[in-house]
A and B are shown apart, each in its own frame.
Chain A
Amino acid sequence: MAKNVQMKDVDIYYGKFHAVQGVNLSVPPRAVTAFIGPSGCGKSTVLRTINRMHEVIPGARVEGRVELDGEDIYRPGVDPVEVRRAVGMVFQRPNPFPTMSIRDNVVAGLKLQRVNDKAQLNEVTERSLRAANLWNEVKDRLGKPGGSLSGGQQQRLCIARAIAVQPDVLLMDEPCSALDPISTLAIEDLIGKLKQDYTIVIVTHNMQQAARVSDRTGFFNLLAVDKPGRLVELDDTEKIFSNPTEKATEDYISGRFG
């Protein structure tokens, strides 16, 4: 549980398009690491290499090493399906399975791992929904379809689904960008609570959010127009927002571009 993530000289391509160049970074366990930067600079792409989700797009490939506690997840012979069971993900738009019940949504990942014991499934359902701060709102209607919840509740359901399998790392790709401020606050509180147990990496467009929820912040930017994206710097959140090393970071933080 709660493994660290290391990237060593990671380059990401979509076919001939060089999307991200030369990323080296380290993500500590039991902490929140935020990726910020302007649109199209590759921060979501980098996030998706941590659970090999970018491979869903034909032609995508990665060079370099991405390690979970020292184990290279791109080593030949590694099954991307197993990687995704160890690295959970929450998306920009809440995406529960609309026709599945709330309970079945939570345990969907466990069922794929052939867990069929009813008592265990019920226990995981309750534990995950409690951990996602959703239990009290849905405990009386676990059989209702996941699509019947509000947007903010759906997103917390998706978080419950992701943590039900107790992943080593939890990835969040702009998890609040489709939510109202109250739901956003609920998710941010939840992130603060979850980091006690999980390694969390979050991509956000909202710099205040990065400042509020994260311990470490990485700033991504394009090398130049039509050039690949890169990691400009990654440091303690406090330092990035008060006294960044790079000029580009300071310009972005202070709103001079982006």
Chain B
Amino acid sequence: MSSTPSGENLDRRTRRRGDAIFRMLAQGSGAALLVIMAAIAVFLVLQAVPALNADTTSFLTTLKWAPDGTPSSFGIAALAFGSVLTSLLALLISVPVAVGVALATSHYAPRWLARPLAYVVDLLAAVPSVVFGLWGLTYLVPNIIAPSTSLNHYLGFIPFFASNGTYGKSIFAASIVLAVMAIPIISAISREVFIQTPRDQVEAAWAIGATKWEMVRTAILPYGRSGIISGTVLGFGRAIGETIAVALVLSANYEISLHILEPGGNTIAANIATRYGEAGEIGRGALIASGLVLFIITLIVNFGARAIVGKNSRGGAS
């Protein structure tokens, strides 16, 4: 009686099925992600606690790594230092290059060149890290000795470039390998944001008499800043989590040294990869404890970057 001729009325229909299914999928995925993250954290903590209790020295300040010795003694200090140092150096090298590559493919190269170039850069991101590691070991390490020697000769008064006279399988070499691995990720993400710069922003810059570089500086880079930062964080993640490439290139020891040209140093991830097989029960727990530290460092960096992007994103892409 109250229905319209077509047999419908204006009451809300029982949930539209597509909406319901989609909502379930989306909410389910979101919840699953949180549960997985929490489960990883819990697993790491549970596995690490027995080893941390067995440690006879301070985990946070000890340099050496002898968890299966008697007495058991190990610490994260040298490894965390090495991880952060190699990753920061890698970013120092890769971010300027990657932004340059991104600008070249988005605004500078002619179209016939830009597309293949962008494609090759994307392809680089998919190369397995062991390939980069082998390249580092067989090509970079032998060939880095000469430039390292000159750096030390001319700039040796700067602590970073001081050396005991040996070069090669150093933090410097590892950082370059990590930088090469990070470039494609950073440049791919930066490029995607750069090409979305609104046309009217670009024209505004042209119209006040900007040269090409001034246009890039006034329109593209401010808009693309969030993209550069996101790309950098992902690049940092790839660098700090890298195991095999670093393990191949670096001649490991457990010392804290700023002398990046000398052989030595180690990273958390590479240490896990090289020590896990031979480790005893306490040793495995110790390695898992170091993994927990890696997890925390990554979280801190992510939140830090998020804060920066959030603060500066007004008017830019998010």
Contacts and interface: CB of A to CB of B under 8 A. Distances in A.
A and B are interacting partners? yes
Interface of A: 51, 53, 56, 58, 81-82, 84-85, 88-89, 91, 93, 95-100, 108-109, 112-113, 145, 147, 158, 161-162, 165
A108 B218 contact: yes
B193 to A, nearest CB: 14
Interface residues of B, number: 22
B209 A53 contact: no
A99 B316 CA distance: 8
Contact of B208 (A98, A99, A109, A145): A109
Given A58-B111, A97-B218, A97-B222, A85 B203 contact: no
A108 B207 contact: no
Contacts of A112: 208-211, 214, 218
Interface in B208-246: 208-211, 214, 218-219, 222
B204 A165 contact: no
Contacts of A108: 208, 218
A165 B208 contact: yes
Nearest to A109: B208
A109 B204 contact: no
Contact of A84 (B207, B218, B312): B207
Contacts of A51: 207
A165 B209 CA distance: 10
A85 B200 CA distance: 18
Interface of B: 111, 198, 200-211, 214, 218-219, 222, 312, 314-316
B311 to A, nearest CB: 12
Contacts of A91: 200, 203-204, 207
A90 to B, nearest CB: 8
Contacts of A99: 222, 312, 314-316
A98 B207 contact: no
A172 to B, nearest CB: 11
Given A85-B208, A91-B203, 11 more contacts: A56-B203, A85-B209, A88-B208, A96-B204, A98-B201, A98-B315, A100-B222, A108-B218, A109-B208, A113-B209, A162-B208
Given A81-B210, A82-B209, A97 B111 contact: no
Nearest to B202: A56
B206 A56 contact: yes
Given A56-B203, A93-B200, A97-B204, A145 B209 contact: no
Given A81-B210, A84-B208, A112-B209, A95 B315 contact: no
Contacts of B198: 95
A74 B206 CA distance: 17
Nearest to A83: B209
